[in-house]
Structure formats: structure tokens, C-alpha cells
A and B are shown apart, each in its own frame.
Chain A
Amino acid sequence: MSAISTNEAGIPVATRPRRSAQLGMLIFAMIITVAGFAQVGLARDGSLPAGMYGYGIGLGILAAGAYIVVARFAPYADPLLLPLAVFLNGIGLAMIYRLDLNTSADAKATIAAGKSYSYIGPSTTNQLEWTALGIIFFAVTLLVLRDIKIVQRYIYTIGALGLFFLALPGFLPSSISGAMGAKIWIRIGSMSIQPGEFSKLALVAFFAGYLVNKRQAMSTVGKEFGPIKLPRARDLGPILVIWAICLGVLALENDFGSAILFFGLFVSMLYIATERFEWVAIGLLLLAGACLVAPMIPHVAQRIDTWLDPKPYFDGGCKINGVIHNQMAQTCSAHGGQYIADSGQLMRGLFSMGQGGVLGTGMGQGEPWRTPLSYSDFIFTSFGEELGLTGLMVILLAYALIVQRGMKAAIATKDNFSKLFAGGVSFVFALQVFVIVGGVTRLIPLTGLTTPFLAQGGSSLLANWILIAILIRISDAARRPAPQPIQDEGMTQVVNTA
């Protein structure tokens, strides 16, 4: 019995439990988290912060719980997925704690000055609660999905639910679902959920289940248009319809980040299922087409203008007689101008990263809170300021490793549904990181997506912990050694008929 075997494609797959490596990496991730907290306290107040013990122990207990569940119920799972997720979640918590201290200080000053104050901002306690819930979801997913094929039985139900929850905020009144220009939330009391985060996973499951049945028909049967071979309408139709509904819904909800995500998901899964490069080419062509059409939508046009040249729009761009001046919306209308957009957030994020440079200012020593939403959408620039390029590279590598481990599980597993599911889930994760990090660094126009595991936000954390549970389940199945025969009767007899 060898610890490393090769699967039918000749790819080496480790087939032994690696609990100690996992535990070691998990402890390492916790040490980094606690060190992050300690550094914040030492830099700001010269002493170890009070929050370090509470939040550190809290996350430590959660990580230990997750480790026990994985060791017990998925012993052969990839040893890196859980530690990487805990690492990102942990440093995210440390950064939110660091921003929380500043806004709390601001809040105290405001209250002391006798002004009314309503608090919307970073909250470490809140984030830790959501992390706890996320890890509970993680454990439940691992316990319920003892075999990933259970999902395959319910793909149509899962797909329908995914679509329903994706569309739901669009039909609810704005008071419940709208915020910051997009209608993607469902607010119940003080809780708000972003159902799109979960729909993403549901639709990956649906596409995987559908394509696994149709892939052969799709890659072989079809009409030829020159060099391109398109599948029959009856094979491609259903996914095309669902995909069009998704994009339509997202356009209505003004959620273009998710629209990019769903588009990429669709193209990548077709490519993985059929192994035909045409799909990538068609996807790129459609994307080019979308780039020509999208600027006609005002919401998108603003984003593109502020992306190409953000300077005129710093703290509000106001068009007076064809020239853009920096003015807030109210002063702008007072001067009879046309208010266009505000790039203040984007530019402050860029300043923040510029301030950080290569080595950063050190945790607790920069001023990242000056960027609006520095604890959620723009948490990446907060890290850029305090950890510098050196730290950002570590964060991006951690994401890349999660994606790599997911893809590895997809390659190693023998089950076709698991292959598609793991491949799709990993690709969506990678694309999400690309869209948000590309957005805040001004590589592509900014669209609001959450930074997985780092940003403050409940739904995103829950969905990403479920995603890690799915990858762990698939990697466990992929790395589990083949059962030994009970009776060993020598070589298999093979009769070859020519």
C-alpha cells in the first residue's frame, strides 16, 4: 500500500490522512491571528489589547471545533483548505478589530460632543458571531453531505431555489432590499442577508448536475458553423434560459459584480464539462459585446468614467458647462450643474495602498479607516496600507492556494459530478477575488462584491464556509484509498478479443 497512488489520468494523489499537517497549519493560522491583534494593541496603546484574549480564544475554539469535525468525518480531506480559510478569517477579524477601535473612538467623541449618533460600521463582535455561525454551517454541511452525490439527486430543486432567492430581492420593496444603489439584500429586523451569495453555490451545483448528464451529447452532437460546433438547442437550451434569467435579474437589481460572476461561472463550467476551447472563445466574444453595450446603462457608465479617470470625480463630480468640477451633490445642483458620480472611495483606497508601499505601515499604525467601507468592500486596501504589497501578496497567495486545492480535488476525484462541482466552485471563488481586488486596485471598473473571508458580512462568510465544506468533502472522497479486496486471488484474468 503506497501513500501516493495515481488515478486513471496518471495524476499522483496522496491517499493518507494528514491530520497532523492540518493541525499544525491551523495552529499557525491562529498564532498569526493573535499576533495581528497583539500588534494592533501594542502599536496603538503600547499594551496587549483587551480584545486579543476574547476574540482569539473565540476563534480558536471555533477552529478547534472545525478541525475535530474534519478529522472525524472527512479524515482524508485536503490538509490545507481549513487552515487557509481560518487564516483569512482570522486576519480579517484582526483588521476589523483594528478599524472598530478607531470608529469606536470616533463614536465616543461624537457622543461626548452631544451629537446624535447611529452606528453602522465595523464590528468585531458581530463578525465573530457570523464566523461562529459560518463554522456551524461548515460542520452541518460536512455532516449532512456524507457523500457529495446526495446533491446530485436534488439539482433541479437546488437550481430553482437558487434562482428564486436570487430574484427575491428584486421583487421586494426597496425599503427591505435596497442599499447603496443595488437591490440585493433581504432585511429582517436588524439582520440582512445577501441571498445571491448562496444562489451562486446553488447554481454551480445545478450546472454541474445538468452538464454531467448532457456533456457527451453537448461535445459530440451538434451543428457546425465553420470552425465552431454548437450543441443542439435541446441540450444547451435549459442552461441558456436559466443563465439569461440570472443576468436579467441581476441587471434589474443593479448588481453587476454578481452578473460578471454568473457569466464567468457559466462559461467556465461549459468549458470544464465539454473540454472544448470554443466555449472560452464564445465567452470572450460575448464579454466584448457586453463591454460595448454596458456603457449605455447609466449606473455602469458612471463606474466606467470613474474607473478611467477618477480624479475629476473625487468627492463628487459635477458637470457645469461641459467641464467636470469637484463638488458635492448639493452644491452641484445649487450651481446648476449635473451631478455625475463620486470616486472618493476608490481614490482613498488607492491613496491608502500608496501610503502602505512595499512593507506597509504595520498593523494599527496606518489610517485605513479614512476610506469609506474600509472594513467590507475596501478591506483589501486597508490591508494594503497596513501590511503593504508584501502582505497583500500573502493574502492573494492564500486565495490562490484555496483555488489550487479545489482544482486539485476536481482533478483527483473519479466522480464526474464532483469534478464539475469542485471545478466550478473553485473558479467562482477565484473570479470573485479577481473582480473585487481588480475593482479596488483600479484594474477593472469597481463593482461591489465581497472579499471572501476578509470582509465584514454575514452571508458572504456563511456561503464561503459552506464552499470550503464542499471542497473538503470532495477532496476527502478523492483522496480516500480504494478499498482492499477481502480475498486476494492473484491477477485479474483479462481476455483480449481483437
Chain B
Amino acid sequence: MNQLTLTLMKVAFLAVLWLFVIAAVGVIRADLWGSKAAAKALRSSKPAQPARQPKAAAPRSRRSEPTKLVITQGARAGTTLDLAGTEIVMGRGGNDVTLPLGDDYSSGRHARLFSQNGQWFVEDLGSTNGTFLGRAKVSRPEPVPVGVPIRIGKTVIELRK
């Protein structure tokens, strides 16, 4: 190996190192602003999306028992909670609440979810803005079918299987 080749090799290696960093920054950039390829992929995959059929409230049976609580809208959207059979108190936040919603339109202790013989019920705890199951306001403990939205302020909660 002559000196020139070695020097070229050295500089090439450093250039590749810097390319790696530039590529990494490029990935971050695409993460923030989106890349052309990703946008295209998203557009082509969009028509497939509405295939999601709304599931009607499932018949009440042992097998349709919900196992998960999912927040689908609101400040804490994306939060999931495994239902263990114990009571869940929902509210704005604080220590006496099982599931803090961080929602300004909810009361401190807003509503509770509890299960009886495998059926989950929602009960309003005297909230200011009320709790809605589907479109109906909850005034006494109501059974909660899987997939029906419970609305508390700006937050929407669903039970899932």
C-alpha cells in the first residue's frame, strides 16, 4: 500500500462517518416534516382504511367481556388500562382518582366504572358536565357494552375486548 492510497482511504472513511451523521439527521428531518416516499405510501394506503366496519354492540355473553379500557379522544388519548375487575374512578386528576383524564371539562371525581358478574357499569358521580354513554346522558348506573363510547368532557373512553 502506498501512502497516497492510505491517505485516500483515510479521508474516504472520515467522509463515510460524516455521511452517517448526515443520514441520521435526515431521518430526524423526515420524522418531523415527512418524506415524499412516506407521504406517497400514506396516500395509497388511505382507501383501504374505511374497511373498518363499525361493530354493533355485541350481545351480552361471557365471551364478549371487555378486557381493556381505551381513551380514544382527549388529553390522554392513547392511554389503555387493563380491566382487572376492580372499580375505576375517572376524573380530572389527583390522588383519589384511578384514571386521571387531564380534562378541564371533567369534574375532580367525575364517574366510575365497576363490574358486576362480568358486566361493566358506568355511574356518574355527580359531575358538573355529565357523563354520556353513546348519546344518552347517564343518570343511574348503566351497563357498558363493548365499543360504545363513554364521553366525559372532551374525553372519549371505550371498553374493548
Interface residues of A (CB under 8 A from B): 1, 3-4, 8, 12, 14, 16, 18, 21, 24-25, 28-29, 31-32, 35-36, 39, 42-43, 46, 79-80, 83-84, 87, 359-363, 365, 387-388, 390-391, 394, 397-398, 401, 404-405, 414-415, 480-489, 492-497
Interface residues of B (CB under 8 A from A): 1, 6-7, 9-11, 13-14, 16-21, 23-25, 27-28, 30-34, 38-39, 42, 46, 49, 52, 54-55, 70-73, 75-80, 102, 105, 128-130, 132, 134-135, 147-149, 151, 153-154, 156, 158, 160
Docked CA distance A359–B14 (Å): 8
Bound-state CA distance A3–B14 (Å) is 35
User: Contacts A359-B10, A362-B10, A391-B17 given: A493-B38 contact, CB under 8 Å?
Assistant: no
How many angstroms from the CA of A388 to the CA of B10 in the assembled complex?
Answer: 10
Known A-B contacts A482-B77, A486-B147, A497-B129; A35 and B20 likewise in contact (beta carbons under 8 Å) = no
Q: A28-B23, A492-B156 are in contact. Are A482 and B14 (CB under 8 A)?
A: no
Pair B151/A492 contact, Cβ less than 8 Å:
yes
Cα(A484)–Cα(B73), bound, Å: 9
A271 to B18, CA, bound (A): 34
User: Contact at B78–A43, with CB atoms within 8 Å?
Assistant: no
Cα A6 to Cα B22 in complex, Å, equals 25
Asked whether B1 lies within 8 Å of A43 as measured between CB atoms, the reply is yes
Q: Give chain A nearest CB distance to B41 CB in angstroms.
A: 9
30 contacts between A and B (CB under 8 A): A3-B34, A8-B75, A16-B38, A21-B27, A25-B23, A25-B27, A35-B16, A36-B13, A43-B1, A46-B1, A87-B20, A360-B10, A362-B7, A387-B14, A390-B14, A391-B14, A394-B18, A398-B20, A398-B21, A415-B79, A481-B78, A482-B77, A484-B72, A485-B72, A485-B73, A487-B55, A487-B147, A489-B134, A492-B154, A495-B130
Is the CB–CB distance between A360 and B14 below 8 Å? yes
What is the CB-to-nearest-CB distance from B71 to chain A, in angstroms, rounded to a whole number? 8
Residue pair B55, A12 in contact (C-beta under 8 Å): no
| Chain A residues whose C-beta falls within 8 Å of the C-beta of B32 in the assembled complex | 4, 12, 14
Task: Establish whether residues A42 and B9, one from each chain, have CB atoms under 8 Å apart when the complex forms.
Answer: yes
